Copies of this chain bind each other. A is one copy, B any other.
């Protein structure tokens, strides 16, 4: 319709996969410079000189575009679906098992640790990761929890997940580092469950 043209770069593969790569490259640049909240699919399309419909076609939602651009190992909507979808009962255990399924695989954790590394160095990266964690993960979980402190409890859970990941996979602190799945379920599931249902501190 317009005179927009797709840029050709040296070595850029032609056709579909080239456009997809270009979208991912421009998405990374947009998220890094504008953060997660302000970046839109329309803006990424404009930068990549493609139609927004093509971005939707490849990635569906902004969450999934972010996940793909950052090589985030999981669709954030899927996390909430798996953990909270079937209801709060058993959600603590499902969270532990999902955590292990994702983090026990080195190829999955490397990109997330990369994001964390950037966040520790660079305030813009910290902001991007904060907005993603808040909007794509916590905001999907908190409403299901109920209670006036649901958001705070969701953040407490999120903070423990990232702390566990650091202790188990980065620092490799024992006995967390070599604990098996059932051992981790036994120790962590009741703790996550208490935060999910808000029972800690209110029981007799």
> Are B116's CB and A120's CB within 8 A?
yes
A36 to B203, CA, bound (A): 42
| Complex contact A126–B170 (CB within 8 A) | yes
B170 touches A152 (CB 8 A): no
**A7: min CB distance to chain B, Å:** 34
Bound CA span A113–B159, Å: 15
B129 and A171: CB pair below 8 A?
yes
With a CB–CB cut-off of 8 A, which chain B residues contact A162? 163, 166-167
Distance in angstroms between the alpha carbons of A172 and B127 in the assembled complex: 8
* A160 contacts chain B at the CB level, 8 A cutoff: yes
Asked if residues A158 and B175 are in contact (CB atoms below 8 Å), the reply is no
Cβ-defined contact, A201 with B186, below 8 A: yes
Which residues of chain A in 100-127 are interfacial with respect to chain B, using CB atoms and an 8 Å cutoff? 113, 116-117, 119-121, 126
Contact of A156 among B120, B152, B191, B194 (CB under 8 A): B191
Instruction: Say yes or no: A117 contacts B121, CB within 8 Å.
Output: yes
* Contact indicator B201/A126 (Cβ below 8 Å): no
Take A159-B160, A167-B158, A187-B156 as given contacts and tell me if A175 and B200 are in contact as well, using a CB distance cutoff of 8 Å: no
Given A159-B163, A160-B159, A152:B176 Cβ within 8 A: yes
Once bound together, how far apart are the Cα atoms of A149 and B188, in whole Å? 12
Asked whether any CB of chain B lies closer than 8 Å to the CB of A88, the reply is no
Q: Do B173 and A156 have beta carbons less than 8 Å apart?
A: no
The answer to whether the Cβ of A79 comes within 8 Å of any Cβ in the partner chain is no
Scan A187-204; emit 1 where CB is below 8 A from any B CB, else 0: 111110011000011010
Answer yes or no: A67 CB below 8 A from chain B CBs.
no
A126:B172 contact, CB within 8 angstroms: yes
What string of 1s and 0s marks CB contacts (under 8 Å) between A169-184 and chain B?
0111111100100010
A158-B173, A166-B166 known; 6 new pairs, CB 8 Å cut-off, are A113-B120, A117-B120, A149-B187, A155-B176, A156-B187, A159-B176
